[in-house]
Amino acid sequence: MARRIRIFDTTLRDGEQTPGASLTVDEKVSVAKQLARLGVDVIEAGFPAASPGEAEAVKRIATEVGGAKGAPAIACLARCVPADVTAAAAALAPARRRQLHVFIATSDIHITHKLRSSREEVLERIRSCVAQARRLVGPDHDVEFSAEDASRTEIEFLLTAFDAAVEAGASVINVPDTVGYAEPKEFAALVRQVVRLVGRRAIVSTHCHNDLGLATANTLAGIGAGARQVEVTVNGLGERAGNASIEEVVMALRTRPGRFGGATTNVKTEQLTASSRLVSYLTGIAVQPNKAIVGANAFAHESGIHQDGYLKNALTYEIMTPESVGLSGSTLTLGKLSGRAGFDERLRAIGVSVDPDELDRLYAEAISLADRKKQVTDADLMALVEQHADPVPQLVELEHWATASRGGESSSGNVSLFYGGQTFRAFSGGNGPVDALLSAVDNALEQIMGGRPRLVDYGLRSIGSGEDAQGEATVKIAASAGDEVPMVFTGHGLSTNVVEASLRAYLAAVNKLLAEHATADPAQPVRPAVTASTEDAM
C-alpha cells in the first residue's frame, strides 16, 4: 500500500520569519484559507508566546479555518517553557484538530552557548513540557516534539531525547536540519535511525532548511528513509536561505512516485500557483523567475531547439504539465536564441498568419530586436507586424546618424542619406536631439528635393513596459502648405532608442512623399515643399 505523506505547512510561522515577510492578522487568515484549499494536512499558524498579535492570529485561524468540518489540523509553536505551552494550547482551543508543537535545542553547541544548560536539564524540560502539552490538548490531538539542530546533535543523545519525548506523550517526532548542514545520504541515515527507534509509536517528521541548497533533497531523502510528515513552506520562505518548498516536494513525489515507494499527498496541486502568488503578493517577496514549479520561467521555452521539441511533443522538455500546478499552459518566449518554429507559433497565438517569405523577414527583425532587449513581447511582435503591413518604398536610405545633447545647451545632429546613387550629408542644431536630427534631415532633403516637407504631427508611445521597452514614433508630413487639401504622409518608426525611432518614422514618411512625386529620372528633384521648422509640432 502506498504511504501517504502528511504535509505540515509552516509558511505562517517559519516562513514569516523571512526578513521583511511580516503579515497582518487578516493576511495570515487569508493565507491559511488558501492553504486549506491547497489541501495541506497541518497549518502551523504561528508562535503565540511571541506577541499578543501572534496569539490572536493563531486563535483566529483555529476558529475561522480549523473550526470547519474536514479542515486541516492547526498547529502552533512553543518552546519547552511552561508559559509557552499554556499560551499555545489556549490559542489552539477553537480548532477541531490541534497539533501543539514544542521544541528545544539538543546539539551541544546550542545547549552550551544558547541555553547555557546541560543535557540532563534539557531532557527534564522535554519530559515536563511534552507531558504538559499532552494534558492540555488531551488524548485525541497531536503533540509534536522537535529537537532543534538535530542534524548536529550527537546521535546517542538525540535518540535519548526522542525516546523521552515519546514516553512523555509526543505523537509526532520532528527531525530538524535547522541550519541546513546535512546532505541527503547523511540525513536519510539519521531519519532511518529515528524511524527504527520510535516509528511504531509516533509519526517521524522532517524540517529542512536550505542553507546549502539541499532542503528539498534532504526532505525527499527523509521520506525515502521512512518519514511520514514533512514540514515545508510556500515558495521556500523561511529563516536565512529558507525552508523546503511545498511545491517542489509535492511535485517531486507526484512526478517520480516510483522513487519514493508510491508515496502520495493530499495536496491539490492545481492550487500551487495560486498559493505561491498569494504569498508572494502579501509578503512582498517576489518569486525568482527560475524558481522550480512556480517561477515565471518554469514552463517557458526560449531556445529554438527546445521550442521545436516542445511543439512536436511537450514531453521532450516538460516533465509535468503546467495545468497540473494551476497554470493555463506553457509559454514560448522570444529571445536571440529562439527558433523560427517558436516564432511562428507565437505569431499564430496572437492571431497573425503570414506567408513564408514574410515570416522570414519578421523573424530576422525579431531576432535583431532580441539582441537589443531582454525579451521580445507580444506587443513588440504586433508592432513589427504593423510596420510590415505599411510598406515603405526605400528611395532615401539612412546611412548614418549621430546626435549630441548637453544640459542647458542646444542639441546637434548630423545624418548621412543615400539617394539616387549619391550620399547627402547634413548637420543642424535644435531644441533637443529629435529636433536637431530632423532638422539635419531637412537640410539633406533641401539638396535632394529642393525643399523641405512640412511636419504636421509627431507622436511617441511605448510598446510594452520596462526599461528596455521599444518606442514607436509616428510622424505625419505634408509636401506643400499651398495645396487647398494637402496630401499627408504618415511614417512609423520602431526602436529601443526613441531618437532612432523618431528618425526612422520621419524618413518613412519622406519616402512615401518621394514615391508619390517620383519622376522617371531620380536626379530630377521633387516639387519643392514649403520650408518649415520641425520643432513646431513637437
CATH number of the domain enclosing 510: 3.30.160.270
Q: Per the domain annotation, does 289 fall within a domain?
A: no
Residue 496 φ then ψ, to 5°: -75, -10
Q: Are residues 144 and 204 in the same domain?
A: yes
Q: Are residues 248 and 305 in the same domain?
A: no
Alpha helices by DSSP H, 269-377 = 272-283, 304-312, 340-349, 356-370
Which has more confidence, 447 or 12?
Answer: 12
Q: Tell me the mean pLDDT in the region 491-501.
A: 83
Q: Are residues 461 and 364 in the same domain?
A: no
Which pLDDT band holds residue 464 (cuts at 50, 70, 90)? low
pLDDT for residue 535: 42
Which pLDDT band holds residue 366 (cuts at 50, 70, 90)? confident
Quick check: 15 and 239 in contact, CB under 8 A?
Answer: no
Least confident of 91-95, 306-310, 367-371: 306-310
CATH (domain of 349): 1.10.238
Q: Which three cell numbers stand for residue 467?
A: 526599461
pTM of the model: 0.71
Alpha helices by DSSP H, 138-214 = 155-168, 184-198
Residue 58 in this model has a pLDDT that exceeds 80: yes
Quick check: 88 and 50 in contact, CB under 8 A?
Answer: no
Q: Per the domain annotation, does 316 fall within a domain?
A: yes
> What residues contact 219, with CB distance under 8 A and at least 6 apart?
206, 208, 230, 232, 244, 249
Q: Are residues 255 and 305 in the same domain?
A: no
Domain boundary pick from 219, 250, 283 = 283
Q: Which residues pair with 376 in a beta bridge?
A: 334
Q: Are residues 379 and 443 in the same domain?
A: no
Question: How many CB atoms sit inside 10 A of residue 282's CB?
Answer: 17
Strands 470-478 vs 454-463: parallel, antiparallel or unpaired: antiparallel
Q: Per the domain annotation, does 290 fall within a domain?
A: no
- Measured CA to CA, the distance from residue 146 to residue 208 in angstroms comes to 12
- Measured CA to CA, the distance from residue 104 to residue 114 in angstroms comes to 11
Q: Tell me the mean pLDDT in the region 163-171.
A: 98
Q: Which three cell numbers stand for residue 444?
A: 539633406
Residue 132 DSSP one-character state: H
Residue 533 in this model has a pLDDT that exceeds 60: no
CA dist 161 → 85, 301, 360 (Å): 18, 50, 70
Residue 83 in this model has a pLDDT that exceeds 90: yes
Domain boundary pick from 336, 367, 389 = 389
Q: Tell me the mean pLDDT in the region 392-406.
A: 87
Q: Tell me the mean pLDDT in the region 282-298.
A: 85
Q: Per the domain annotation, does 201 fall within a domain?
A: yes
Which pLDDT band holds residue 408 (cuts at 50, 70, 90)? confident
CATH (domain of 276): 3.20.20.70
> What residues contact 342, with CB distance under 8 A and at least 6 apart?
301, 302, 304, 307, 308, 311, 332, 334
Question: Following CA atoms 214, 219, 224, 225 in sequence, which dihedral angle do they give, to the nearest 10 degrees?
Answer: 100
Q: Are residues 152 and 184 in the same domain?
A: yes
pLDDT for residue 267: 97
Number of domains in the chain: 3
- Measured CA to CA, the distance from residue 222 to residue 218 in angstroms comes to 6
- Measured CA to CA, the distance from residue 464 to residue 345 in angstroms comes to 20
For 177-187, how does the pLDDT look when each residue is reduced to its tens digit (9 = 90+)?
A: 999 999 999 99
Highest mean pLDDT among 79-88, 289-298, 349-358, 526-535: 79-88
Domain boundary pick from 389, 406, 427 = 389
Q: Are residues 230 and 249 in the same domain?
A: yes
Q: Per the domain annotation, does 292 fall within a domain?
A: no
Residue 390 in this model has a pLDDT that exceeds 90: no
Q: Per the domain annotation, does 295 fall within a domain?
A: no
Q: Which three cell numbers stand for residue 513?
A: 512623399
Q: Are residues 462 and 530 in the same domain?
A: yes
Q: Which three cell numbers stand for residue 246?
A: 511545498
Q: Tell me the mean pLDDT in the region 213-232.
A: 98
Q: Closest Cα partner for 472 from 377, 536, 399?
A: 377
- Measured CA to CA, the distance from residue 533 to residue 538 in angstroms comes to 10
Q: Are residues 206 and 71 in the same domain?
A: yes
Q: Which residues pair with 142 in a beta bridge?
A: 99
Residue 273 in this model has a pLDDT that exceeds 70: yes
Q: Which three cell numbers stand for residue 411?
A: 542639441
- Measured CA to CA, the distance from residue 367 to residue 381 in angstroms comes to 11
Question: How many CB atoms sit inside 10 A of residue 383's CB?
Answer: 19
Q: Closest Cα partner for 177 from 142, 143, 144, 217?
A: 217
pLDDT for residue 504: 87
Q: Which three cell numbers stand for residue 295?
A: 517561477
Residue 219 DSSP one-character state: H
Q: Closest Cα partner for 74 from 178, 144, 163?
A: 144
Q: Per the domain annotation, does 204 fall within a domain?
A: yes
Question: Chain-wide mean pLDDT for the chain?
Answer: 86
Domain span at residue 307 reads 300-389
Q: Tell me the mean pLDDT in the region 148-166.
A: 98
Q: Per the domain annotation, does 293 fall within a domain?
A: no
Q: Are residues 162 and 27 in the same domain?
A: yes
By CB atoms closer than 10 A (0-12, 13-18, 19+), residue 441 is: buried
Angle between helices 378-389 and 340-349 (to 10 degrees): 90
Diameter of the chain by CA atoms?
105
Which pLDDT band holds residue 141 (cuts at 50, 70, 90)? very high
Q: Closest Cα partner for 489 from 519, 457, 459, 521?
A: 457
Least confident of 91-100, 150-159, 295-304: 295-304
Q: Are residues 352 and 402 in the same domain?
A: no
Which pLDDT band holds residue 536 (cuts at 50, 70, 90)? very low
Residue 254 in this model has a pLDDT that exceeds 80: yes
Q: Which three cell numbers stand for residue 224?
A: 525515502
- Measured CA to CA, the distance from residue 158 to residue 190 in angstroms comes to 10
DSSP characters for 374-424? S-B-HHHHHHHHHHHHS----SSEEEEEEEE--TTS-EEEEEEEEETTEEE
Residue 101 in this model has a pLDDT that exceeds 80: yes
Q: Are residues 383 and 269 in the same domain?
A: no
Which pLDDT band holds residue 487 (cuts at 50, 70, 90)? confident
Q: Tell me the mean pLDDT in the region 451-480.
A: 79
